[in-house]
Chains A and B, each alone.
Chain A
Amino acid sequence: MSKILVVAEHDGSALNPSVAKVVACAAGLDAAEIDVLVLASDAGAVAQQAAEIDSVSRVLTVERSENSHAISAILAPQVVAMASDYSHVFGPSTTFGKDLMPQIAALLGVNQVSDIMSTEGSYTFKRPVYAGSGLLTVEAPSDAIVVATVRIASFASASSGNSAPIESADNSTEVPGHTRFIDLVSGKSDRPDLQTSARVVSGGRALASEENFELIYKLADAMGAAVGASRAAVDAGYVPNELQVGQTGKIIAPDLYIAIGISGAIQHLTGIKDAGTIVAINKDEEAPIFEVADIGLVADLFDAVPELTDALD
């Protein structure tokens, strides 16, 4: 029977939605126990949210002032100090987890299983390689601890309603001071979160300017959707980096994804392959995006998008 430790991602006040997805992945194993570990300066609110996720056995909190920002060199030794009781240590395949989990693996002397898409057994997992052009089944050794990141777009969130016990853990592991948080600049918006929204409207290079991207925002607002972008649109400076969808950006699985003026490079498509319905609007009928779109419209976006916005508003 597996005993799984899930390292919680949070921003100090809110639990990241990735945690309920990692718990869902863990629950797919033959799990005897799933504990969620909250490392924070003040864990109260976050731990409370984690305790509500079904399948969670216990929420463990470590409160230290050094944990006020997620610095992996500080967090990893604390996780490692608590890992020996567990057969598996899981984290999300978000920038938080990608930064942290390989450090935990290295300190434990094992390789990491990156981006679990499905669990085939307690030690057998499927993961994407080559930007999703191949799916690889891997088997981790059963006599070593398994450290893994979970591709959160592949899992539905675990349900909530639980009230798991919250236990404060004493963790005085020595941590380094060689890495210091300075600041975080994020494009604050009232729109739904790209990673978890059921609807996403994305724009590409064909928008041609930051001003024109307003068309995408208007359509998204009319639909209550989150806004995304292709790498080309981010590179060109039309939108900030956190909106990028694809192999090196966010991997998402909304019910509805509308790609506007996006040609559909494989690196982009790998970020949306689990979307429910893909809609493509592009004036180039040869664009690869049409090979994966459920509904395609060959049209000039500057005509079609305002018309669609009016129709849906």
Chain B
Amino acid sequence: MEKILVGLKRVVDYNVRVRVKSDGSGIETDGVKMSINPFDEIALEEALRIKERGEASEVIVISVGPGEAQQQLRTGLAMGADRAILVESDTPVDPLSVARIFKTIIDRDGIDLVLLGKQAIDNDNSQTPQMLAAIWGRPQATFASQIDMSGDKAVVTREVDAGLEKVEIDLPGVISVDLRLNEPRYVKLPDIMKAKKKPLEQIALADISVDPVPVIRELAFEPPVERARGVIVDDVAGLVAALKDKGLA
């Protein structure tokens, strides 16, 4: 296998306590720490391990997002990716359009395996990998917790509601990754310096022609209904009494 493409989305960091803006127009992002979507980081780690085992020759990271997403791509290069592609858009791009952009790059660069996070932790949509596989007409294996490559096939263990499902897919194909696949490496300072010299290709969204998609409009954001803090009981007897009170014991 030659080339692995990995998507890296720039999202609000996992540890930030996200708040809805008071006017309901969106999520507070001013001055908030931004990072690689954690699932995408796991996808990249897996791609690097496959390459390090000699089962692939090049790992390419791609992001569709604002100019600042260069930071996340540089982090990806510092982790060990060979080159990066930024498809630049100042406004958010919907999942199907992202899938079509990835498809354009796949056709241009000849990709054998696409590794993506199973969902982004901002919109929690979980659509792009499946959409890419569908429009590409190639296999998908979502929610992967183990990937075993064997030539032009991959055996993927998937975390599904009923347990662990194993499927075999022909390559090229798309695999979306789950949390327990691996633990991503830490980036070391010399790698950050080296990453600055690696190629990062910038493409304006307008230069990639993908068909327009009917827009799902975002009307308003609101904070979730908070659950009220309840009572603290002193001991197990108090707990049992409180449950009986509610008719639950």
A: residues with CB less than 8 A from B are 11, 71-73, 76, 94-96, 98-107, 109-115, 124, 128-141, 143-144, 176, 178-187, 195, 231, 234-235, 240-242, 247-248, 250, 255-256, 266, 273, 277-279, 281, 290-299, 304, 307-308, 311-312
Chain A residues whose CB sits within 8 angstroms of the CB of B123 once the complex forms: 114, 129
Across the interface, do B215 and A141 meet the contact criterion of CB distance under 8 Å? yes
CB pair A250 B161 closer than 8 Å: yes
- Decide yes or no: A138 and B218 within 8 Å by CB, A11-B162, A240-B163, A279-B239 being known contacts: yes
Determine if B169 and A179 form an interchain contact, defined as CB atoms under 8 angstroms apart: yes
Determine the residue in chain B with the shortest Cβ distance to A130: B18
Contact yes or no, A273 B227, CB < 8 A? yes
- CB atoms of B233 and A102 under 8 A apart: no
Partner of B214, one of A143, A184, A304: A143
Instruction: Report the minimal beta-carbon distance from A39 to chain B, rounded to whole angstroms.
Output: 16
Q: Which residue of B lies closest to A243 (CB)?
A: B163
Q: Chain A's interface: helix, strand, loop or mixed, by majority?
A: mixed
How far apart sit A186 and B160, CA to CA, in the bound complex (Å)?
9
**Majority-rule SS of B interface residues:** mixed
List chain B residues, Cβ under 8 A from A115: 124
User: B238 — nearest CB in chain A belongs to which residue?
Assistant: A297
Asked if residues A184 and B133 are in contact (CB atoms below 8 Å), the reply is: no
Is the Cβ of B140 less than 8 Å from the Cβ of A95? no
CB nearest to B39 among chain A residues: A248
Is the CB of B196 closer than 8 A to any CB of chain A? no
Q: How far is the CB of B103 from chain A (nearest CB, A)?
A: 10
From the candidates A124, A184, A308, name the one contacting B165 in the complex (CB within 8 A).
A184
- In the complex, identify which listed stretch (B66-74, B93-101, B106-114) lies at the interface while the others stay far away: B93-101
Give the distance to chain A from B156, nearest Cβ to Cβ, in Å. Answer: 9
27 A-B residue pairs with Cβ-Cβ distance under 8 Å, sorted by A, are A72-B130, A95-B160, A99-B143, A102-B129, A102-B131, A105-B96, A110-B96, A110-B213, A111-B127, A114-B126, A114-B127, A128-B224, A129-B124, A130-B124, A134-B18, A135-B222, A178-B170, A179-B167, A179-B170, A180-B168, A234-B180, A241-B180, A242-B163, A247-B124, A248-B178, A293-B229, A311-B237
A290 and B127: CB pair below 8 A? no
Shortest beta-carbon distance from A259 to chain B in Å: 12
- Nearest CB on A from B220, distance (A): 5
B169-210 near A? 1/0 per residue, CB < 8 Å = 110010000111000000000000000000000000000000
B240 touches A130 (CB 8 A): no
Instruction: Choose among A95, A106, A278, A308 the residue that contacts B159 (Cβ–Cβ < 8 A).
Output: A95
- Assuming the contacts A234-B180, A295-B243, A299-B236, asked whether A103 and B227 have C-beta atoms less than 8 A apart, the reply is no
Is B151 interfacial (CB 8 A cutoff)? no
Residues of chain B contacted by A294 (CB below 8 angstroms): 227, 230-231
